[in-house]
Structure 1
Amino acid sequence: MTPRRAQLRDFLRTRRARIAPGEVGMATAGRRRTPGLRREEVAALAGVGVSWYTWLEQGRDINVSTEVLDAIGRALRLTGPERAHLYVLAGLNPPPPRADATRGDEITPELRHLLEAWTPRPAILRDRYWHLLAINDAARWVFGFDDADHHCLISFFTNMRYRRAHLHWAAVAPSVVAAFRADAAHAPDDPGFGRVIKELSAVSPEFAELWARHDVGTPGQAVKAVRHPEAGDLVFDMTTLAVVDHPDRYLELYNPRPGSETAARLERPRTRTAAPA
């Protein structure tokens, strides 16, 4: 037995051992030699054969489907992380996090504090579809975001102030679209990405043309250069970080490029604002 299948065996055993029969509406009459549910009870709750479930729990080399794993997960009342763990142990890719469970309007005070603490450097919190969830004041000032901006890619193509600020917008646009395609490729059947593509294609022929190329890039590290009307030329190293406890969320942190005057120029408007009237 491989180590992975041995872990699958132990994981399933411990998950069913923690559920009392009465919790799932099953009779508890008679003496039970093991705590929790029996294998045949889990099989009945999941709607699978007893022999098949027994083989799965024994770590045998059998074929499994996402539908069956989901049914077992519901029967064993697995949490989201436990469900993903079951997929991995069974040899399948975990499903993407549910957007309705990870997005929402609630942003933790810790994340908000991090965004503000990054000031005077820009910082953005977005979701997997590139919707803007929160930005700090520096991002508003540097990139020209306003209350109408709700999506990174849509703003990149439709916010004229945002576009004009980018020193190399036309050269960068193909790589931005290619990075979005790379993210969308992880969930080809997810309607969330489809809605963004449809909305932006309807208002931006430039995006539609680039999207039709089917280029795929690498999201993550990038250099961003902007020309600000007050601060002048600003150059940033942009790093994207996943939020571990909210896998649908990503932090984009912009750090002044070493060797540029960006850091000093970012301090000037804050100094003027803080000065007494």
Structure 2
Amino acid sequence: MTSGSPAVARRREQLSDFLRTRRARLTPADVDMVAVGRRRTPGLRREEVAALAGVGVSWYTWLEQGRDINVSNEVLDAISRALRLSEPERAHLYLLTGLNPPRVGGADADVTPELRQLLDAWSPRPALLQDKYWNLLALNDAAKTVLGYHDTDQNCLITFFTNTRYRGMHGHWATIAPDIVAAYRAEAAHSPGDPEFARVITELTAASPEFADLWARHDVGAPIQAVKAVHHPEAGDLLFDTTNLAVANHPDWHVILYNPRPGTDTEARLHRLQRIRLAAPA
């Protein structure tokens, strides 16, 4: 935690209140400890939390007081376990100490049936779910047939540069590629040192000289809001606007819905393509 600004001071106050209230709601019995002596206030003592987390009493006291000390992911996770924090509470603790909450487990396992139903219900229009790394968490069949995604595609940025079918269906690919890379750099800048951003960038730099050249420019830009143009081999020219929706319980996840551009025949072409696909033999 760094010192100086009023925002940091407020965050430290919130951290202090948060840790005290989480400690106060637990009893020694809740954490399989034997209560020793009389207690003037409810809840666990600081030394008990420190013992459960495997940290020094002085260090934990300084943390709870909001002092300017160094914290690590490992220690925050140990304190989270000691205080029996829920996953949202654990993420909140990370944010109050100025760190980015790490991802938990496999993202695909957390995609709810309701989210998948939303994507499927959007057909014959494309829809997909991605995280802040632009990893593809789920997509409907239309995203594959209309936009050119494969079952093996796992990241939208990697797909953009390495999937030849996808590239072939996007006539303005070369024009928008610099803006795509600039938007990704801006996204990654919010999480310096994040290993998942580093993985995507390293993998794509090795796989695509075009990406490597664009990344070396160090351009930074806002997310692209332009009309998406697709030339489909069966449906012809398609134009989409996109709607980007954040997922309430996963703020780093976004549902992207592709809306046929008003004033075009894209909607009719999509339905015609769907009828062709349904009529085709399995």
Pair 1:239 & 2:243 matched:
yes
Change in CA separation of 1:186 and 1:9 when aligned onto 2, cut-off 3 Å: closer
Q: CA deviation at 1:97?
A: 3.6
Give unpaired runs (5+ residues) of structure 1: none
By how many angstroms is 1:163 displaced? 0.9
CA shift at 1:73, angstroms? 3.5
Residue 273 of structure 1 deviates from its aligned partner by 4.7
Once the two structures are superposed, residues 8-31 of structure 1 have per-residue CA deviations (whole angstroms, 9 ceiling, x without a partner) of 454333211222213445331433
Scaled by the length of structure 2, the TM-score of the pair is: 0.81
> C-alpha distance in 1, partners of 2:154/2:94?
34
Q: Distance in 2 between matches of 1:101 and 1:155?
A: 23
CA separation of 1:18 and 1:32: change in aligned 2, threshold 3 A: same
* SS of residue paired to 1:149: coil
Code of the residue aligned with 1:27 in structure 2: it is V
- 2:97 matches 1:96: no
Cα distance between partner residues in 2 of 1:250 and 1:217: 19
Aligned pair partner of 2:137 in 133, 138, 148: 133
* SS in structure 2 of the partner of residue 238 of structure 1: strand
Match of 1:16 in 2: 23
Residue 166 (1) aligns with residue 174 (2): no
Matched residue type, 2:169: A
Alignment partners' CA distance in 1, 2:185 and 2:88:
26
Within 2, Cα distance between the matches of 1:120 and 1:25? 55
Does residue 73 of structure 1 match 2:80? Answer: yes
- CA–CA distance in structure 2, aligned partners of residues 247 and 271 of structure 1: 36
Q: Structure 1 residue 71: deviation in Å? A: 5.3
2:127, 2:139 within 8 Å by CA — same for their partners in 1?
Answer: yes
Structure 2: unaligned runs, 5 residues or longer: 1-8
Give the superposition deviation at 1:274.
5.4
What residue number does 1:262 align with? 266
SS for the counterpart of 2:159 is helix
C-alpha distance 220-18 of structure 1, shift in aligned 2 (>3 A): farther
- Name the SS for the 2:168 alignment partner: helix
Question: Residue in 1 aligned with 2:33?
Answer: 26
Residue identity over aligned pairs, in percent, reads 62
Q: State the 1:35 CA deviation.
A: 2.6
Q: Counterparts of 2:188 and 2:15 in 1: how far apart (Å)? A: 30
Cα 1:36–1:220, aligned 2, differ >3 Å: closer, same or farther? farther
Aligned length: 270
Answer yes or no: is the 8 Å Cα contact 1:102–1:247 preserved in 2. Answer: no
Q: Quick one: distance in 2 between partners of 1:72 and 1:160?
A: 47
**CA root-mean-square deviation:** 3.0
Q: Residue in 2 aligned with 1:250?
A: 254
Aligned match of 1:217: 221
Partners of 2:123 and 2:142 within 8 A in 1: yes
One-letter amino acid of the structure 2 residue matched with residue 223 of structure 1: V
Equivalent residues in 2 for 1:197-212 (5 A)?
Answer: 197-212=201-216
Paired letter, 1:34? T
User: Within 5 Å, which residues of 2 pair with 1:31-70?
Assistant: 31-46=38-53, 47-50=55-58, 53=61, 57=64, 62-67=67-72
Residues 209-263 of structure 1 deviation map (CA, whole Å, 9 limit, x = unaligned): 1111111122364421111122221111123333222345322211112222212
Distance (Å, rounded) in 2 between the aligned partners of 1:39 and 1:260: 65
3-state SS of 1:28 partner: coil
* Cα distance, 1:145–1:56 mapped onto 2, change above 3 Å: closer
Give the TM-score of the pair, scaled to structure 1: 0.83
CA distance in 1, matches of 2:94, 2:235: 50
Structure 1 residues 52 and 37: alpha-carbon distance in aligned structure 2, compared to 1, 3 A threshold: closer
How far did residue 129 of structure 1 move?
A: 2.4
Structure 2 CA distance for partners of 1:241 and 1:75, relative to 1, 3 Å: same
